Amino acid sequence: MDTTPELEFAFEVRVQVGAPLELGIRRIVPILEGTFEGPQLRGRVLPGGADWQEFRADGVVELEARYTLETDHGQLIYVRNCGIRHASPETMEKMRAGIAVDPASVYCRTVPAFETAAPELQWLTRSVFIGAADRYPAEVVIRFWRVK
């Protein structure tokens, strides 16, 4: 029996982010607002979340974002999205300075966990997901896939 996992597109999130708070090797990037959409759900990203980042000595950035989604039907979904980002040192410096770079030159993968009380959205809590993110100066675009 072949148990090779397959990926199924779940949804895309687009968030607008504020100016980061710099704390040396750490920074906090506020999540201001956004939208999300996929085959089974859509809605908005509520303000008030953030991405907590730690810049490691090896050039990798550890990411931990926490935010809340609200579907068009008023259902709430809590997201805790952890991952890593890395690229060449020159590309990483440009990103940290707020300069746009080609997203294809950056490795950014995440593993989100979802919580919701909505019975019809429990599929989010019962599967493993992976994400791929593109970082722009004022926006982050993340596409999530369910591992089947």
- Where do the structural domains in the chain lie, given as residue ranges? 7-147
**Percent of the chain scoring above 70 in pLDDT:** 100
Output the average pLDDT for the chain.
Answer: 95
Instruction: Determine the Cα–Cα distance for residues 62 and 129; give it in Å rounded to an integer.
Output: 18
**In the numeric block, which tokens belong to residue 64?**
């931990």
Tell me the CB-side half-sphere exposure of residue 3, using CA atoms within 13 A: 0
pLDDT band of 98, cuts 50, 70, 90? confident
In contact, 29 and 50? CB cutoff 8 Å: yes
Q: The domain at 7-147 falls in which architecture?
A: Beta Barrel (2.40)
For 107, phi then psi, to 5°, come to: -90, 120
pTM for the model stands at: 0.92
